[in-house]
Every structure is written in structure tokens, then in C-alpha cells.
Chains A and B, each alone.
Chain A
Amino acid sequence: MHLTPDELIYAQLGLFKLNATLLFTWIVMVVMVVGAWLITRRLSSGLVRSRWQNILEIIVLGISKQIGEVGLAAPRPYLPFLGTLFSFLAVVGLGTLVPGFEPPTGSLSTTAALALCVLVAVPVFGIRSQGVGGYLQSYLKPTPIMLPFNLIGEVSRTLALAVRLFGNMMSGAMIVAILLTITPLLFPIVMTVLGLLTGLVQAYIFTILAAVYIAAGTRVRDTAQSEA
């Protein structure tokens, strides 16, 4: 029983270890990229379109609407980043149905990397919409005394994003592994279904929280402009 997929090592080349986390991340990447390329090879904007294009459009429009409801009024610039986050986490969550699949988000490395992506994305989007001065000024709001708390808040919410996703995925895998040694047939299946649900909910939560943080980082200018 392993705590994270980092411990399953398939090959080793000097210092570089090919562990299960890397392997399954690459597999998910290949599946998503090849699938998307296959579906969008012949896009049609008419009334007749393939089923897969319909599915992709539903997903893209759904994510776009959710981002818009969270507070980013024009969701288009943020859609690639947030959509990729949600798609990757959703495919990883659904992949637990495939036997032998170890979710790479069950390793703190993957979730920490994703949380760091969000940590970097918030200033990038903030500076893109408000300029460097405007974005840095947002750390001094509501009063300059709050500056250390805002900084600590940035770090702690990144950490919370990483540990929340890691804990949920790791606990799902571990509960199934433990139950397999106790009551082999019924309860592991029930817990796998529960793990599927929590995987998808956590994918949604991660994306929505990333959208909320980006909205908080880009918000201030919009209210100032609308007041002016």
C-alpha cells in the first residue's frame, strides 16, 4: 500500500526516475491532446456537426459560463488556463474508472505544481488587466497595514489548493486499497464511486477557486472604472 504514486518507479536513468506519477500524467496528456486534435480537425459552424464537437462545445460553453458567473465578466482570455485545469483534473478523476490507473493528482508533486501555476497566473492576469502599479497597489487595499496579511494569504491559499486536492485524491485511493484487504467485493466498488464523485467535485472546486482568485486579482480596476 503506497502513500503516493511517486513510490512506484518504473525505470531509472541516472538521477531521473520515471515514476507512476510522471507516466500517468504523460498518458493523460497524450489522451487529451490526441482526442482534442481528432475532434477539432474538421470543425463545422453550420447546423450539422459531429457528436464529439457538440460535446466539446457543451463543455467549453459550460466552463465559460461558470467563469463568467464567478466574477470574470469577459471569460474568454481566462478560458484556456481555467479550461485546461478543469479538463485535466476531470480526466484524471474519470480515469480512476480504468483499472490500473493511478491518479497522478494523488501525489503532492502534481497538485503543488498546479497550485503554483495558479499562484503565477494570478499576478500575470492581474498585471495584464491593471498594469504593474495597479496590481501591486491592490496588495495595499483596504489599508497598507494589511500588506503582510495579503502576502501570507496568497501563500496559504496556494498551499490550501495543493493539499486539498492531494488529500481528496489520496484518501480516495487509500480507502479503496484498505477496504480491498477487508471486504473485497462490495465496499471497494461503492468507495470507488464515491472517489469518482469527489474527484469531479474537487476538479470543479479547484477551477472555481482559481477563477475566484484571478477575479480578485483583476477586480479592483473594474470597480474603479465603473465608479469614475
Chain B
Amino acid sequence: MDNTTLIAVVSIAVAGLTTSFGTMGPALAEGRAVATALTSLAQQPDASATITRTLFVGLAMIESTAIYCFVISMILIFANPFWKHFIAGGG
């Protein structure tokens, strides 16, 4: 297996793994965050504006790590720097 094929295979496999593992953690965390927010909303409905706003900000921050993994996957597939280097320089 020459260099270019090896790079392609590893990039594709790792891109898939990155997104799949990277979205598990944030999904569980977001589930817990929403569950706690719903409990607080049930206990104090008149603070719903603050709770909802804080919930959305928290969800965005938790989502960030999943977005990082997605960006890495996209870079591996579409803008792979090693791919360009090996195509340009020859295997």
C-alpha cells in the first residue's frame, strides 16, 4: 500500500470515528443539562426566562466540542493537508 492510499484510508476511517465518538459525550451532557433545566422550571416557573437563557448558553458551550470534532472530520475529508502534500510531492 503506497503512501497516498494509506493516507486516504486512515483519513477516511479516522474522520468517521472522530464524529461518532465526538458526538456521544456532548449528547449525554446535553441530555443531563436539559433534564436539570426542566426540573428547575417545574420547581420555579417564574424564573423561566433566566433558566431558558442559561440553558441555551450552556447547550451552546456543550455543543462546541461536538462542533470541534465535526470540523476536524470535514478537514480530514475535504481539506486534508497531508493529501495535498503527498499528491504534490509524489508518493
Contacts and interface: CB of A to CB of B under 8 A. Distances in A.
Contacts of B61: 160
Interface in A192-221: 201-202, 204-205, 208-209, 212
Interface stretch (A48-56, A77-85, A165-173): A165-173
B46 to A, nearest CB: 14
B68 A204 contact: no
Given A163-B71, A167-B68, A1 B53 contact: no
Interface in A167-198: 167-168, 170-171, 174
Contacts of A205: 56-57, 60
A182 to B, nearest CB: 16
A164 B57 contact: no
A154 interface: no
Nearest to B68: A163
Contacts of A3: 74-75, 78-79
Contacts of B63: 164, 168
A201 B50 CA distance: 16
Contact of B53 (A69, A163, A174): A69
B83 interface: no
B60 A202 contact: yes
Interface in B23-76: 49-50, 53, 56-57, 60-61, 63-64, 67-68, 70-71, 74-75
A50 to B, nearest CB: 29
A167 B56 contact: no
Contact of A201 (B49, B56, B71, B75): B56
A174 B79 CA distance: 13
B53 A170 contact: no
Given A3-B78, A3-B79, A167 B70 contact: yes
A202 B61 CA distance: 11
8 contacts: A3-B78, A66-B53, A163-B64, A167-B64, A167-B67, A167-B68, A168-B63, A212-B57
Given A163-B71, A164-B67, 16 more contacts: A3-B78, A3-B79, A160-B61, A163-B68, A166-B71, A167-B64, A167-B67, A167-B68, A170-B71, A170-B74, A171-B67, A174-B74, A201-B60, A205-B60, A209-B57, A212-B57
